Amino acid sequence: MPGTPATHDAAETVDTTDTGETAAGPVPGPKLADAAAPTIQTVQRAALILDAFTPGKPYLSLNEITQRLGASKATAHRYTKALRAAKLLRYDERTALFSLGPQVLTLGAAARAGLPIVSAAEPFMERLVQEVHETVVLSVWDGESPIVVRSADNTDRVIRISVRIGSRLDTTSSAQGRVFCAWLPTDQVPQLAKLLKRDPALAAELDHVRLVGLSVNTPAVNGVQTLAAPLFQGDTLVGSMAIIGTTTSVAADADSPLATALLRTAAAVSAHLGTEDSAPGATG
C-alpha cells in the first residue's frame, strides 16, 4: 500500500486570539492541540479508505467504505469525493463502485523507487549490463506478484529489450516470479499451495531453481529469454535480479557465462545488503 497521502479535507488552524500569551511570552494553549485533531482524523480516515482496497478486492461500494470507516454514509461520501478530487480514487457510475485512482500508481512508483534495495542494487546492475551487454532488471514482491522497480537497458544492442518500471510479472510463468515462489514461504504467495498440489512439474521446477540458485524462462512465443537470481538480506528474500535478452544471446544454461555473472552479481548485492552466503548457488 502506498504511503499515507496528503489530503486537503481539513486544514490545521490556530486561533491566535486564544493562545494563552502572557507578558512572559507565548504559552501553548489547549486549542493548539485541539486544532490539529480534525486534520489527524482526516488523514487517518483517508488512509483507512485507501487501505481497504487490495489486489483481491480492487472494487468497493460506498456501503462497504462506510462500513470500513465506521461512520455515516454522508461522511463516507464526503471523503470519497475529496479522494476522487485528488485522483486517489475513481468512481464508475455504471457499476457504482470505487477503485484506486491513477495518483496511487504514481505514489506507488515513488515508494518503490525509494526502497533501499533499489539504490543498493543499481551500481551492481550497471556493471552487469556493461559485462554481459544485455538488459538487467530488478523486481520486488508486493504481496501478490513481482513488480519491476528498476531496469538498466543495454543501448549498444541493435535489438534493444526494454522493460517498463512498474510492470507486474506473472508469478509462476516468469523467471523472476519463480524465484519468489522458490524462496518465499508458500503461504506468502497467493494460491501457490494449491498450484503445487495440482502441478507436480511446477514443484519439481522450483526444487531445481533452489538447487542451482537460478531460474530460467524461455517463452517460445516472443523469443525472449530470462535468467533470474534471488537477492537476500540476511535470510530474507528481498528481490530478484534478472538478465533479459533474446534466445540467441542468452543461453538457457545455469553454467553459462551470463548465468555465472548474474549469480556473482546477486551474491555481491546480497553481501552489500548484509549477507555473503544466504543465497544457495550464489557463488556459482
On whether both 91 and 176 belong to a single domain, the answer is no
On whether both 154 and 261 belong to a single domain, the answer is yes
**pLDDT tens for each residue of 222-236:** 788 899 999 998 889
Answer whether residue 280 is part of any domain. no
What whole-number distance in Å separates Cα of residue 53 and Cα of residue 43?
16
On whether both 178 and 100 belong to a single domain, the answer is no
CA distances from 177 to 81, 139, 151, 164, 261 (A): 37, 9, 16, 16, 20
pLDDT for residue 37: 66
**pLDDT tens for each residue of 65-100:** 999 988 899 999 999 999 999 989 999 999 999 998
On whether both 131 and 45 belong to a single domain, the answer is no
On whether both 98 and 227 belong to a single domain, the answer is no
Answer whether residue 29 is part of any domain. yes
On whether both 141 and 255 belong to a single domain, the answer is yes
On whether both 190 and 124 belong to a single domain, the answer is yes
Answer whether residue 49 is part of any domain. yes
Answer whether residue 5 is part of any domain. no
Domain ends where: 104, 135, 154? 104
Answer whether residue 168 is part of any domain. yes
Domain ends where: 39, 73, 104? 104
Domain ends where: 78, 104, 130? 104
pLDDT for residue 276: 42
What whole-number distance in Å separates Cα of residue 26 and Cα of residue 108?
42
pLDDT for residue 145: 86
pLDDT for residue 27: 43
On whether both 77 and 154 belong to a single domain, the answer is no
Answer whether residue 175 is part of any domain. yes
Answer whether residue 69 is part of any domain. yes
Burial of 208 (0-12, 13-18, 19+ CB in 10 A): middle
On whether both 99 and 211 belong to a single domain, the answer is no
Residue ranges of the chain with per-residue pLDDT less than 70: 1-37, 105-106, 108-114, 155, 157-158, 218-221, 275-284
CATH number at residue 138: 3.30.450.40
On whether both 81 and 119 belong to a single domain, the answer is no
pLDDT for residue 282: 39
Kindly report the length of the chain: 284
Residue 69 in grid coordinates = 470507516
Asked if residue 182 lies in contact with residue 232, where contact means CB atoms within 8 angstroms, the answer is: no
Q: Give residue 97's domain range.
A: 16-104
Domain count, the chain: 2
On whether both 43 and 144 belong to a single domain, the answer is no
Answer whether residue 9 is part of any domain. no
Quote the Cα angle for 153-157-158, to 5°: 130
Residue written as grid cell 504514481: 106
Residue 205 in grid coordinates = 521446477
pLDDT for residue 59: 93
Nearest to 265 by CA among 153, 174, 116, 130: 130
CATH number at residue 22: 1.10.10.10
pLDDT for residue 3: 43
On whether both 35 and 123 belong to a single domain, the answer is no
